[in-house]
Structure 1
Amino acid sequence: MEIKHKDWTIRRITAGDIVPAIDFIIPMLHEVYPSIPDVAVRWDLANMEEAYVISDNAVMFAAFEGRNGQVIGTVAIRPYDDRIEAVRGCYDVPVTAELSRCYVNNSLRRQGIAGRLVTAIQDYCRDYGYKTICLHTHRFLPGGFPFWLSQGYGIRNQSQDGLETVYMDKGLTL
């Protein structure tokens, strides 16, 4: 599946897209979470091909700028594993996917890229057979929480932790 716009294209990443995706994601993580020193040290980022390219139940989509093909946005989905204590037991794990890595280049926000990335992920999830998508965000992130509300995600739980974590989900219809 590919979503074309006059300025960018959204498509599933391939093995050849891993380095440009990482080159986009790592600085975004440091920008968004400046007080978390090891924020970029995560299994999925160190194993992108296994996590998002080879796997049939997980995927990463990226938005590629039209002129130079640079990654300007990402979103990923993986099977949810019930690891998060705040929502443990809330989901039918075999049919629940966890959304993550949703970032858009600062200068290109509010142009519909994130919404189109989320549409691509939701379509993938429906096709795969997932019935629910869960995610967590933080109230301090600029635009994050309101964006997810605008996409139809509801609040499942909220933590009173220093990161102001909000756990959200959305049921998928066929």
Structure 2
Amino acid sequence: MAISHKEWIIRRVTANDVAAALAFIIPMLHEVYPNIPDVAVRWDLANMEEAYVSQENSVMFAAFDNAGQVVGTIAIRPYDDRIEAVRGYYDLPGTAELSRCYVKSSLRRQGLAGVLVAAIESYCRQYGYQTICLHTHRFLPGGFPFWLSQGYMIRTERTEEIETVYMDKDVFIKHK
């Protein structure tokens, strides 16, 4: 599946794209979370091919500009009940966790993130996931309102320093 636009193309990240995706994601993490020193030290980033490329139930999509540079990403993996604030709430085989949704700052508010979300939701429906969960933070510029605009509902919130909001959306299409 590829989605084309005059300024970018969205497609599934392959093993050949891992370095380019990381070259985009790592600086984005430092931009978005400047006060979290180890924000880029995560298992999925250190093992990106295993996390998002080689597993059938996981995927990362990236938007590539006309020069072949990554300008946006979004990823999905099976949710593993790792988050205490929502532990026990989700049906684990039917729930995917959305992450790594970033868009190059000069391309924000132009619809790219919405197209990335639509791509990941389509993948989830095709794979058979029923629910997508995610977490965001109220301090992120535009993040929380964006997820609300995409139909994600608040499951719970934490009022700690980084104001984490846990959200989800039912993506399973019920046939009548």
Mark yes or no: TM-score above 0.5: yes
Deviation at 1:160, TM superposition (A): 1.0
User: Gapped runs of 5+ residues in structure 1?
Assistant: none
Q: Is the 8 Å Cα contact of residues 128 and 172 (structure 2) preserved in structure 1? A: no
| Distance in 1 separating the partners of 2:96 and 2:84 | 16
Question: Letter of the aligned partner of 1:63 in structure 2?
Answer: A
1:173: Cα distance to partner? 3.0
* Partner Cα distance (1:37, 1:7) in 2: 33
> Is 1:107 aligned with 2:102?
no
Structure-2 separation of matches of 1:152 and 1:113: 16
CA distance in 2, matches of 1:53, 1:173: 23
Deviation, structure 1 residue 168: 0.2
TM-score (norm 2): 0.97
Q: 1:56-135 to 2 correspondence within 5 Å? A: 56-66=56-66, 68-135=67-134
Task: Tell me the amino acid that sits aligned with residue 89 of structure 2.
Answer: C
Which residue identity is paired with 2:115? R
The answer to whether residue 164 in structure 2 is matched with residue 169 in structure 1 is: no
- Residue correspondences, number: 173
Contact 2:131 2:172 in 1 (8 A): no
Kept in 1, the 8 Å contact 2:136–2:165? The answer is yes
- 1:36-72 per-residue CA deviation (whole Å, 9 max, x = no partner) reads 1100000000011111110000000000002x11000
CA distance in 1, matches of 2:24, 2:103: 9
RMSD, aligned α-carbons: 0.5
Equivalent AA in structure 1 for residue 125 of structure 2: R
Q: How high is the sequence identity, in percent, across the aligned residues?
A: 74
Alpha-carbon separation, structure 2, partners of 1:137 and 1:46: 21
Say whether residues 1:24 and 2:24 are aligned partners: yes
Provide the C-alpha distance between the structure 1 equivalents of 2:55 and 2:139, rounded to a whole number of angstroms. 32
> SS in structure 2 opposite 1:44?
helix
Structure 1 segments, 4+ long, off by >4 Å, are: none
Three-state SS of the structure 1 residue aligned to 2:68 is: coil
What residue in structure 2 maps to residue 7 of structure 1?
7
- TM-score w.r.t. the length of structure 1 is 0.98
Gaps of 5+ in 2: none
Name the residue aligned to 1:40: 40
